[in-house]
Amino acid sequence: MFGKVLPVFIIAASIFAAHVSAEEPEVKAESAILAISDGEQILFDKNPRQRAYPLGLTKLMTALVAYRQCGTDESVTVPEDLADYVSPYDPLMGLRPGESLPAEALISAIVVGNANDAAIVLALRCGGTVENFVGMMNGSAEELGMSDTRFANPTGIHHEEQYTTASDLLLLYKHIAGIPMMNKIIKKTNVTIAATNKSPQRTLWTANSLTSKYYSTNYYYPHAVGGKAAASAVDLPTPYGNSVISGAVKNNAGLIGIALNSRSEGGVNYAFEDVKKLFEYGFQNFTQKTLIRQDAIAREVPVKNAGGTDRVLLLAGNTLKCFLLDGDSADNVHSETLLPDAVFAPLRKGEPVGEVRYTYRGKPVGTVTLTAGDTLEAHPLKAALGGIIWFLSLKYVKLPLLVLFCAAAVYAAIVFRVVLKAKKKKRRKRK
């Protein structure tokens, strides 16, 4: 990507580093992931690429696409034929034909309140048709790199061709959390919808019992923040199970836990229990370490065509943190720097130049973008000479020049021989 790859070790790796480990949690979910919020580091996973039905977690993508297409301020009117798209048995907020609400209220209703009618109204308003909107959902999934995800509807109603994985949901959740307005919505435990032209004020509560005690007090986790839960239509062992994705923050350390297709047994929703186990495993066995802070000097690289300098400092474009196993050494954190051999002026401060990829015990931690620390203007003479040299180095220029040079050399040799022969002939005549 950036030319020559230069492996760099943050701290000299020791092959004699002590083996440090922690007992991994046992979870009932068919697939699960525990990841840090800032970076790519995975602390635990179980079948992370095994396909599962997303159920209500589908609405995370519905909300994202609706936000992208309609924003939050746009006024949306409930269509007259809404009843054709939803069932009275669906989770609903009670929207009525002709009712007008801001898009933000509907997005909040599907993320927090899991309202299927709100999902349909947004799909019709932002996509024109439900089918077109679903196409947008699949396009967004592809854009985010969710290679094992397919959507068939915006509500999460079970469909054989609607599936996802824990790995893909992690990508989606991190992307949503990176959008300030969406991050604000997913962190709400309840949302109050103001009175409209058709309905009085309504309050909807999250079904994520890790963050709220509204539906159950059994699963509340004091460090949980945001997220969404999904459950089978009936509390019985089914092919669909229960699922939850949630964040948690403790001592400024952030985690994301995901459990998919976790069965309920004896009245216990093990999706919540699984994610609580994951969070406790992360917080009790790892210590957060900041590898590099944004704007810190990270590297330097040669610069060409600039006046007054031949090198430029590179700064970290983002902060990166790593979770180390308690008692482990930072010797097991390594980095690999990807940089070109040199950069060329003009160069603007903050312009991306390369990146550093970090790993811990051989597994990815995250990537830091390297940006130019200063603005460098091009020196006119150096730029001109550099341009000439660059032009002459091009493959399609080199060959014609070589042919021209050879032709000139042959022509010179012929002229030299003709002149030499003429001189000899002239001498003979004089004699």
User: Residue 307 is part of a domain; what is its CATH number?
Assistant: 2.60.410.10
- Shared domain for 151 and 57, answered yes or no, is yes
Calculated CA dihedral for residues 117, 121, 126, 132, nearest 10 degrees: 70
Two tokens, residue 389: 């040299």
Question: pLDDT value at position 8?
Answer: 44
Distance from the first to the final alpha carbon of the chain: 74
What per-residue confidence (pLDDT) applies to 399?
65
Q: Are residues 216 and 347 in the same domain?
A: no
Domain boundary among 206, 234, 262: 262
Residue 232, domain member (yes or no): yes
120/257 same-domain check? yes
In a domain? residue 267:
no
> What value, to the nearest 5°, has the Cα angle with vertex 288 and ends 284 and 289?
150
Shared domain check, 238 and 212 = yes
Q: Are 217 and 355 in the same domain? A: no
Question: Does any domain span residue 246?
Answer: yes
Same domain, 9 and 51: no
From 210, 239, 262, the end of a domain falls on: 262
* 195 shares its domain with 92: yes
Q: What is the pLDDT of residue 47?
A: 97
Q: Are residues 165 and 308 in the same domain?
A: no
Number of structural domains, the chain? 3
pLDDT for the residue numbered 103: 97
Of 325, 342, 372, the residue that ends a domain is 372
Q: How many residues does the chain have?
A: 431
Q: Which residues of 321-344 are buried (b: 16+ CB within 10 A; e: fewer)?
A: bbbbbeebeebbbbbebbbeeebb
| 303/340 same-domain check | yes
Cβ-Cβ contacts under 8 Å for 33 (sequence gap 6 or more): 42, 44, 45, 46, 48, 166, 167, 170, 256, 257, 258
Q: Is residue 228 part of a domain?
A: yes
Q: What's the rounded Cα separation, in Å, for the pair 215 and 36?
A: 28
Indicate if 181 and 242 belong to the same structural domain.
yes
Residue-by-residue pLDDT tens, the chain, 431 positions = 455 444 444 333 333 344 567 899 999 999 999 999 988 999 999 999 999 999 999 999 999 999 999 999 999 999 999 999 999 989 999 999 999 999 999 999 999 999 999 999 999 999 999 999 999 999 999 999 999 999 999 999 999 999 999 999 999 999 999 999 999 999 999 999 999 999 999 999 999 999 999 999 999 999 999 999 998 654 444 556 899 999 999 999 999 999 999 988 888 999 999 999 999 999 999 999 999 999 999 999 998 877 778 889 999 999 999 999 999 988 999 999 999 998 888 889 999 999 999 999 999 999 999 999 998 887 654 444 454 444 455 566 566 666 666 767 777 777 677 766 766 666 666 65
Cα–Cα distance, 91 to 227 (Å, whole number): 18
- Please answer whether residues 347 and 312 qualify as being in contact, where contact means their C-beta atoms are separated by less than 8 angstroms: yes
In a domain, 23, yes or no: no
**Cα(174)–Cα(136) distance, rounded to whole angstroms?**
19
279 inside domain: no
Q: Is the peptide bond before 346 cis (omega within 30 degrees of 0)?
A: yes
Classify residue 288: in a domain, yes or no.
no
Do 168 and 93 share a structural domain?
Answer: yes
| Residue 324, domain extent | 5-14+298-372
Cα–Cα nearest to 232, from 262, 257, 258 = 262
Please, are residues 258 and 241 in contact by the beta-carbon 8 Å criterion?
A: no
Q: Would residue 381 count as lying in a domain? A: no
Query: What's the pLDDT score for residue 379?
Result: 63
Q: Are residues 192 and 62 in the same domain?
A: yes
Where residue 185 sits, what CATH number does that domain have? 3.40.710.10
